[in-house]
A and B are shown apart, each in its own frame.
Chain A
Amino acid sequence: MNAYLITIATLICINAIVACGLNVIVGFAGQISLGHAAFFGIGAYSAALLATKAGLSFWAALPLVVVITALIGLLLGLPSLRVKEDFLAITTIGINFIVEAIFLYIPFFGGALGIGGIPRIMLFGVRLKGLTFFLLCLFFLLLVLAFCWWFSRSWGGLACFALREEESAAASMGISPVRFKLLAFVIGTAMAGLGGALYAHYIRFISATDFSFPVSVLLLSIVVLGGMGTLWGPVVGAVILGALPEVFRPLVDYRFLFYMLLLLLMIRYQPAGLLGEGSMVHRVFSLLLPEGKK
């Protein structure tokens, strides 16, 4: 049971890392992405290939994985970010499907079988599994959160917020929309790459369907439900959406249905997310802190 809880917690941690990246793209810079799982997958596949084919250790491969994912993010972001809103949503869905198809149909990526035999991570001669692996993920999550906090206070972050609110006004203040959207996209996809590398070394057997479109939907749901553009939103969202299926486990066959209905109810009645503007938590806090209202 304990090991089971650690598994859930580890996966929540990884999801939170990837969702933090999506939050930078969607919540900070206001660019909708429904293809984030593709970059999660690119991170996982590059980590898996570097470990199994090139024989690199996790630590040697990690910087490469992050750079590769961010570069592909840059490459795919450049044309995608020319379009806006609904077009961008559909384009990113398209990216997800195409990337998944490439993993699935090109033999180099293992085809339908995926890639197996990914080694465990070694740290100071210790093979990380169970609790120690969870702690490693937690460490990276804290690192990612620290970066997001820092970025939200930096000029670059401020430029992204301005773009999210009013693109033309931001441009009239010297902010290049393309440059800063791409910056957010690259940061976000780099975090997805990190999450992907951790995922590959944890699950140790990956296949294309692990990174299909529903995963992108899950990631966006995590960000929206937690509260877009907030620091802790992705973590809250990842915990809730990661723990719910386990809470619903006794429902057996009806589990997924209830999960989806609950997601629907949450989005219907808390559309700004649990930590967002006008949410329940937000209202309770503004009652407690009277100056928050005025």
Chain B
Amino acid sequence: MQLFIEQLLNGVAMGSIYALITLGLALVYGILRILHIAHAAIYTVGAYVGLFLFKLSGSLIIGVAGSMVFCALLGVGIERFVYYPLLKYPPYVPLIGSIAVMLAIEELCRLVAGPQILTFQAVLPFPQFQIGGITVSSTLTAVYCITALVLLLLWYITSKTELGLAMRAVSQDIPIADAMGINSHLIVSLTFAIGSAIAAVAGSLVGIYYNQVYPTMGTVPAYKTLALIVVGGLGSVPGAVVASLLLGVAETLLIGYANIPLPRDALAFIAMIAVLMWRSEGLLGSR
């Protein structure tokens, strides 16, 4: 029982991290209907910049905040240079562009920082809990708290502010939003900035959680998060969060208990295909 609860706690942490990465992808898909695979490269950059600034300044807050700003700018840059001009083409055109951006950024990380795994030794200023023989480590607490904070902030922005209202208008129909006096390109850019800043948080957090930062750390999340936004219902942010948490728990439990021959990274896609056959609008999506 104790092992089960520990596994569950780890699973939720894993799911929280997936959620942080998937959020940006779901936001971007919701507003532009683009599969932003390069989002995972932004996450990698987020980890590197966070680590670099942390080493330079010695402050984790400066590291993460700096990384958020850097990634927000990078995300907006990709949107302005690659996606926006390609919007009028069929969806596979920006998709290929996105994959090229992702592989180029990964390669750039390798060239600048080297192919080796860097360590990210930082102590997260969060308490450790001890409940009935079960220890919740400070990193786990950190993952939970940060994810909850990000989700809360995002919920506030999207449902309580004018920016959120404008985002919803733009995601419905760009020409109509423009006609209503919304500067939709600015809203799209802001969406990318928000999603990318969250990816920076996720990158830094994962770097600390596993104490590893390396050029290809975004490869597996890049494709897994695609499956997650499908399972959640393309473009649905709450759906993406639910799907991420479920996958995190399912993966951890399956590795812990069932000895399945397929690697756990294929699980997301198997779940996705099952969902598509059974309920193609996703768990929380609407047609």
Contacts and interface: CB of A to CB of B under 8 A. Distances in A.
A271 B86 CA distance: 8
A101 interface: yes
A97 interface: yes
B125 interface: no
Given A253-B111, A267-B93, A97 B104 contact: no
A90 B100 contact: no
A59 interface: no
Contact of B265 (A26, A89, A97, A264): A97
Nearest to B105: A260
B100 A264 contact: yes
A253 B96 CA distance: 23
Contact of A91 (B92, B223, B265, B276): B276
A54 B48 CA distance: 50
Nearest to B103: A260
Interface string A251-294: 00110110011011001100110000000000000000000000
A98 to B, nearest CB: 5
A267 B35 CA distance: 16
Contact of A257 (B95, B104, B263): B104
A83 B107 contact: no
Bin the interface of chain B by size.
35 or more
Contacts of B261: 105-106
B234 A263 contact: no
Interface string B70-102: 000000000001100110010111011101110
Contact of A268 (B85, B108, B276, B280): B85
A37 interface: no
Interface string B253-276: 000000001110110011011001
A220 B92 contact: yes
Interface in A64-90: 79, 82-83, 85-87, 89-90
B14 to A, nearest CB: 19
Given A94-B273, A257-B111, A264-B97, A89 B35 contact: yes
B49 interface: no
B269 A267 contact: no
B245 to A, nearest CB: 20
Contacts of A161: none
B227 interface: yes
A264 B82 CA distance: 8
A15 interface: no
Nearest to B261: A105
A197 to B, nearest CB: 26
A90 B226 contact: yes
Given A98-B269, A98-B270, A213-B223, A83 B280 contact: yes
A62 interface: no
Nearest to A260: B104
Contacts of B99: 217
B230 interface: yes
Given A97-B266, A260-B104, A271 B111 contact: no
A27 B31 CA distance: 27
Given A256-B107, A268-B97, A101 B262 contact: yes
Nearest to B95: A89
Interface in B231-287: 234, 261-263, 265-266, 269-270, 272-273, 276-277, 280
Contact of B100 (A102, A267, A272): A267
Contacts of A10: none
Nearest to A217: B99
A261 B269 CA distance: 29
Given A90-B227, A105-B261, A220-B96, A264 B101 contact: yes
6 contacts: A83-B280, A91-B276, A220-B92, A221-B96, A221-B100, A260-B103
Interface of B: 29, 33, 35, 81-82, 85-86, 89, 91-93, 95-97, 99-101, 103-104, 107-108, 111, 223, 226-227, 230, 234, 261-263, 265-266, 269-270, 272-273, 276-277, 280
What are the 6 tightest A-B residue pairs by CB atom distance, in nearest-first order?
A94-B269, A260-B104, A264-B100, A101-B266, A257-B107, A263-B100
